[in-house]
Amino acid sequence: MSRYAYVNGRYLPQDQASVNIEDRGFQFADAVYEYFAVFDRKLADAKGHFDRLDRSLSELSMPQPMSRPALRMVIGQLLRLNRITDGAVYLQVSRGVAKRDHPFPDPAPLPTLVLTTKPVDFTALDAKAAKGVSVITQPDNRWGRCDIKTVGLLPNAIAKTRAKAAGAEEAWLVDDLGLVTEGASTNAWILDASGTLRTRDTQANILHGITRATLIEHLKDQCIPFSEKPFTVEEAKQAREAFLTAASAFVLPIVKIDEVIIGNGRPGPLSLRLRSLYMDAARRSAS
């Protein structure tokens, strides 16, 4: 089956799709992105992801590549072309093509818009969640604006590479105070020793995860004690449970941090409950 990508107004077989070598996304990582989970051809947490895209663009003074309804039409068409039922959409907007020079070009070029899709095997993801995954800890050496979802992901890629080499799923990043900020591509959560669910606050230098925000909304309905108080690596290692959240993983239980087994080494009951709660709600509200 031939896979199509969308690039600046054209649907092309993915192996023929390309952007200009002077694109600022390529030259300077001057680009932002979003990743949407797709349930039954519909986007999970669509509003949250589109709102965050708008914010990323506006923080970098980049124009919208097209209106939200137009973007939704293009995404719908690409999902149909690629026959995606359950999967993901990757969307990237760069500042566009300009002669290589650091300052933002004036006048601004047209932004570059690239969209791709992929099928995702949700059954395989469920199997991974049923077993739980491990994470390693790594220093957080990223820039100071991790709230903007840019494609400047080299520190994240290095941390993930180290995680992979250690046989782990993810790297939890740790700031200069020894506090966990987030994962290299996920948000970090623990159920601490006293039974409070904790994840880092969004005043910290982290991405404002959409899965994180949706889950917090559900926690309110479930009356689960919750706090955005930062936690240390030590607290995480002594936690009753740990898990990560992301549109690419939903809620994924963690059973090992570095060499320390969490709880009894199996996914915690609250993590599994929150996973099924999130999955059901995301599926129901996908649009």
Residue positions annotated with a catalytic role: 149
Q: How far is it, in rounded angstroms, from Cα 157 to Cα 72? A: 29
Distances (CA, A) of 199 to 12, 42, 144, 196, 248: 41, 28, 19, 10, 18
Residues that bind ligand PLP (CB under 6 A): 35, 182, 185-187, 207, 209-212, 245-247
Residue 148: CB minimum distance to ligand PLP, A: 11
CA nearest neighbour of 171 among 152, 144, 153: 153
Gyration radius of the chain over CA positions: 19
Residue 97 or 207: the one with the smaller Cβ distance to ligand PLP is 207
Burial pattern 142-152, b for ≥16 Cβ within 10 A else e, equals beeebbbbbbb
Closer to ligand PLP by Cβ: residue 30 or 98: 30
**Residue 271: exposure state from Cβ atoms within 10 A (0-12, 13-18, ≥19):** buried
- For the CB of residue 157, give the shortest distance to ligand PLP in the complex, in Å: 11
Please report how close the Cβ of residue 212 comes to ligand PLP at its closest, in angstroms. 6
Strand partners, 188: 244
Cβ pair 247, 207 in contact under 8 A: no
Could you tell me how many residues make up the chain?
287
14 secondary structure, DSSP code: G
Q: Is the dihedral of CA 101, 106, 109, 113 positive or negative?
A: positive
In the complex, the smallest distance separating the C-beta of residue 34 from ligand PLP, rounded to whole angstroms, is 8
What is the spatial distance between Cα 264 and Cα 207, in angstroms, rounded to a whole number?
Answer: 30
Q: Please, which residue, 182 or 241, has the CB nearer to ligand PLP?
A: 182
Choice between 30 and 263, CB closer to ligand PLP: 30
Nearer to ligand PLP, 152 or 263 (CB): 152
Minimum gap (Å) between residue 13 Cβ and ligand PLP? 26
